[in-house]
Amino acid sequence: MRTGILAKKLGMTSFFNEDGSKFPATLLYVEDCEVTDIRNIEKNNYNAVQLGIINVNQNKINKPQKISFAKSKTKAKKHFKEFRVSEENIINIGTAVNVSHFEKGQFVDVTSISKGKGFAGAMKRHNFSGLRASHGVSISHRAHGSTGNCQDPGRVFKGKKMAGHQGLSQVTIQNLTILDIDNDKNLIIIKGSVPGPENSIVRIKDSVKKMVKNET
C-alpha cells in the first residue's frame, strides 16, 4: 500500500481519444506536493505519510506550525493529509510527489468534500417523487409524506429520509480512470466527475478494488 497524492480541482472539460471518442473529464492540478512528515510504528503505532500542498508565506501560519516546519526543514504548506502506507513505502521528508506517481489507464479512488447545498427538501435531497400534482392534493406537492407509524412505535426511526442539510460532507468515488497525465503542466485528467467545487483539494490514491485498466 503506497501513498496517494493531493491535487486541486480546476474544473471539468471534454477529452477526446485518438479515435475521436469523447469523454467528460475533470482536470486536477498538482501544485508543490511534498512529504512534510511521516508516522511510524515505533513512535505512532501506525505507518503513514503526511503530504502538504500549495506553498504559503510563513506569516500565514501559526507558531506551532512554524516549529513543525522548522523541524522537518520543509516549506510551509496550506493543506495537509495523511495517507496510510506499508512500511516499505514510507517516503523521506521533503520528497516531492508529482503526477508521474500515477500512470495513464490506472484506476484510482478520489476523495473530497462535496458541494454544500444548505437546507434541502426531500425531493432534492433524496430524490423523492413528491405527492400528486392534482386530485385532492393541496399545498403538500413537495412534502415527504408520513414519517412513521402511530402509537406503535410512537416515534420516528433514526436515519429516516427527511428534509435537512445536504452536501458539505466527505465523499469518495471509487474506480475512476485516469485518461491522461500531463507532466509538463502537472495535470491529472480523470474520466467523469469528482466531488467538490472548483479549487477544492482532492485526495487521489490507488484503487482498493482494481489497479490497471484491462485492454480487452
Same-domain check for residues 110 and 134: no
Mean pLDDT of the chain: 89
Helix (H/G/I), strand (E/B), else coil: 43: helix
- Side chain identity, residue 63: K
As a whole number of Å, the CA-based R_g of the chain is 23
How far, in Å, CA of 1 to CA of 98, rounded? Answer: 18
**Lowest model confidence (mean pLDDT) among 51-65, 103-117, 119-133, 191-205:** 51-65
Same-domain check for residues 137 and 196: no
* Any domain includes 213: no
> Average pLDDT, stretch 92-116?
91
* Any domain includes 211: no
Same-domain check for residues 63 and 111: yes
The confidence score (pLDDT) of residue 79 equals: 87
Position 215 pLDDT exceeds 70: no
> Average pLDDT, stretch 184-204?
93
- Domain range for residue 192? 5-117+170-206
The confidence score (pLDDT) of residue 211 equals: 61
DSSP bridge partners of 38? 49
Same-domain check for residues 28 and 97: yes
Same-domain check for residues 159 and 179: no
DSSP bridge partners of 155? none
> Average pLDDT, stretch 195-207?
93
Q: Which residues of 182-206 are buried (b: 16+ CB within 10 A; e: fewer)?
A: eeeebbbbbbeebbbeeebbbbbbb
Q: How far is CA 1 from the centre of its chain?
A: 18
> Average pLDDT, stretch 170-197?
93
Q: How many domains does the chain have?
A: 2
**Cell digits of residue 177:** 480512470
The confidence score (pLDDT) of residue 212 equals: 56
The confidence score (pLDDT) of residue 213 equals: 53
The confidence score (pLDDT) of residue 78 equals: 87
> Average pLDDT, stretch 99-122?
93
The confidence score (pLDDT) of residue 96 equals: 87
Same-domain check for residues 177 and 162: no
pLDDT class of 152 with cuts at 50, 70, 90? confident
Position 74 pLDDT exceeds 90: no
Same-domain check for residues 195 and 151: no
Say which residues have a Cβ less than 8 Å from residue 201's Cβ, sequence separation at least 6: 6, 7, 8, 9, 53, 79, 81, 112
pLDDT class of 172 with cuts at 50, 70, 90? very high
Same-domain check for residues 27 and 94: yes
How far, in Å, CA of 93 to CA of 72, rounded? Answer: 7
CA distances from 144 to 128, 149, 158, 161, 192 (A): 7, 15, 16, 9, 31
How far, in Å, CA of 55 to CA of 30, rounded? Answer: 12
